[in-house]
């Protein structure tokens, strides 16, 4: 009876191993396809916005330019993930800061009066900036072992070496 239980346990372990391999492969494929789709959507949106800016016949507003920066940051996030398999969380904060700046400029351009909305948006930008600083300091001071360093805006890793070093 013990031999039959051992055979059953070995068969169970083999099946589990195959299921894990298939599941990991499916997850990896999903990540690649989803990120590629997000990258294409970001590029498409940026191109449509860029064409719209020139089709209107007017000059680009600061809001239009900031929107293009948001697309740039989102594209950089996707590109960095493809290269390093690491999602730079700081870029999400940069996108939020840029979006709030865009909202602030729109708010000021519409209302022309200083009010509580301006203070709230500025406070949110300040809070996000402090959060980005804390993340940057934390990743520099306490790097994760065995994980690729996050690539900063200057193209260098946390240890000061180049991204390909």
DSSP states of 71-130: HHHHHHHHHHHHHHS---HHHHHHHHHHHHHHHHHHHHHHH-S--HHHHHHHHHHHHHHH
Domain of residue 14 covers 2-141
**Percent of the chain residues topping a pLDDT of 70:** 87
The number of folded domains in the chain is 1
Average pLDDT of the segment spanning 83-101: 88
Residue 85 predicted with pLDDT over 90: no
Each residue's pLDDT tens digit, 93-147: 999 999 999 999 988 888 778 888 899 999 999 999 999 999 999 888 888 765 4
Q: Considering only residues 91 and 146, tell me which one the structure prediction assigns the higher pLDDT.
A: 91
Distance CA 6, CA 9 (A): 5
Each residue's pLDDT tens digit, 15-31: 998 998 998 999 889 98
Angle at 161 between CA 156 and CA 162, to 5 degrees: 55
Q: Is residue 163 part of a domain?
A: no
**Burial zone of 28 (CB within 10 Å; 0-12 exposed, 13-18 middle, 19+ buried):** exposed
pLDDT-based confidence at residue 153 (cuts at 50, 70, 90): very low
């Amino acid at each position: 009876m013990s031999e039959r239980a051992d055979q059953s346990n070995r068969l169970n372990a083999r099946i589990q191993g195959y299921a894990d391999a298939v599941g990991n492969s499916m997850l990896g494929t999903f990540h690649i396809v989803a990120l590629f789709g997000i990258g294409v959507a970001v590029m498409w949106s940026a191109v449509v916005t860029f064409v719209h800016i020139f089709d209107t016949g007017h000059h680009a507003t600061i809001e239009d330019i900031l929107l293009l920066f948001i697309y740039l940051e989102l594209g950089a996030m996707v590109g960095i993930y493809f290269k390093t398999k690491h999602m730079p969380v700081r870029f999400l904060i940069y996108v939020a800061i840029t979006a709030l700046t865009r909202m602030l400029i729109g708010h000021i351009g519409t209302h022309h009066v200083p009010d509580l909305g301006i203070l709230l948006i500025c406070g949110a930008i300040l809070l996000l900036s402090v959060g980005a600083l804390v993340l940057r300091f934390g990743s520099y001071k306490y790097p994760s072992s065995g994980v690729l360093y996050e690539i900063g805006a200057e193209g260098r890793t946390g240890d000061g070496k180049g991204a390909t070093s």
